[in-house]
Structure 1
């Protein structure tokens, strides 16, 4: 009968091969194993790891407790007063307002600008209330469009704002986005400016002043939607 060689023995290739002896019922060759047992063991281990992962991330997979209410008109709740001080009355032109009440995520968006013609300073806000899964798991993942539409971007953490907050700036400096995670919701305020020079009856400004205004208007929006 062919058996597994000893680890310290040499392979014997000189003699004829012996015929395999038939196994009696319920008997198996010594030193052999059944592949399906190894496969079953792998499944058990994988299941244990998966279960452990579910346990570890259980708090993030569970439905989050929402600390904020849905808005019927985000453009009414998003006043953008500080940004308006830089760009002029952002509610002078009729705002663009949209809502979407999906079973998993309630979303609302608002777009503002201060001129009727070709806009040079556009402010938008978005609120996403996650009703099924905690959004913190994916908050740090940058949207593909950030790189596709603006090229290289810089991301800087913003302290003392929600559970997590980040300021995203395009390489050109024309696009700036502030994202905040808090209480099962993701808030976004975005500013696009073709120029920071004086234009369309608005005074000259700079990217730093715009960022500070975005943070102040974000605080006001979060406070307005708090339950």
Structure 2
């Protein structure tokens, strides 16, 4: 049996080549993962590493606008240059120099907002704290009522780079008294590192809210601000107490003068001075003391 003839390939047509499989497009590079660190870093941070943590725990990320907070908007110090692709030391040095400048500028701006532009220079206004406040203060208004001098008053003093302080506690005696009829305490503080203003106001202005039964009045004409705190529970000559404190702040200096009397059936003084007189004496002597402590 003869074999059927095979179809001949035309001489001018090339032989078919086997098909090559299509090459797929290169996979895109994995984009950098988000991080809480606000500035680009020339090296990829390790998972869970230091640069993956927020710059401030529980606070806003620097450079990111915070809704509802006008002081936490992105600082307008210009963009941070991108990390150099070469990864060389010179490029990294330039990057971190720029980052350091931005961080320093942001910290300075935050400090200005936080402090309101206030200088940290102590506003002592020429006051000095004497080593013996008992002899350096004026309480002469009380001496007409309490004629006996306290021969052994309690006094302390403190000299420190942050605070100068003087304290004096006196027993007040009328003529012929064997024991103290009343007490007078004085305290002077020169705050050399921190402004006592906000805490002074909060403590004395709101004294009546934390101590029931006391009256609190703003006093004008003494220092930057002054408060009178008083309580009078004396009933006849059988008992009660009479108390008055005048607290003054002048710049970063505070001065507190306190009178207290405790009347019992055994008290020698059956006719203590009226609260109105005590308040007048406190104001007069406080003004005189503040004047002489600035001389």
Partner of 2:294: 226
Give SS of 2:143's match: helix
Report the TM-score, using the length of structure 2 for normalisation: 0.56
Alignment pair present for 1:104 and 2:172: no
- CA deviation after TM superposition for structure 1 residue 42, in Å: 2.5
Larger Rg: 2
Match of 2:194 among 111, 133, 144: 133
Partner of 2:116: 56
Unaligned runs of at least 5 residues, structure 2 = 1-25, 39-53, 66-71, 73-105, 234-240
Say whether the 8 Å CA contact 2:225–2:248 is kept in structure 1. yes
Residues 101-135 of structure 1, C-alpha deviations (whole Å, 9 max, x = no match): 13211110111113475433101111001111222
Q: Which structure 2 residues correspond to residues 64-213 of structure 1 after superposition, within 5 A?
A: 64-86=123-145, 88-89=146-147, 91-115=149-173, 118-142=179-203, 151-170=212-231, 172=233, 174-195=242-263, 200=268, 203-213=271-281
**Relative contact order (alpha carbons < 8 A, sep ≥ 6): 1 or 2 greater?**
1
Considering fraction of residues, name the structure with more helix. Answer: 1
Partner of 1:4: none
Aligned length: 197
Residues 202 and 113 (structure 1 numbering): CA distance in 2 closer, same or farther, change over 3 Å?
farther
- CA deviation after TM superposition for structure 1 residue 94, in Å: 2.2
Distance 1:219 1:63 in 2: 22
- CA deviation after TM superposition for structure 1 residue 26, in Å: 5.6
Alignment pair present for 1:34 and 2:93: no
Residues 2-54 of structure 1, C-alpha deviations (whole Å, 9 max, x = no match): xxxxxxxxxxxxxxxxxxxx9721647xxxx9352686773336567843433
Unaligned runs of at least 5 residues, structure 1 = 1-21
Give SS of 2:62's match: helix
What is the CA RMSD across the aligned residues, in angstroms?
3.5
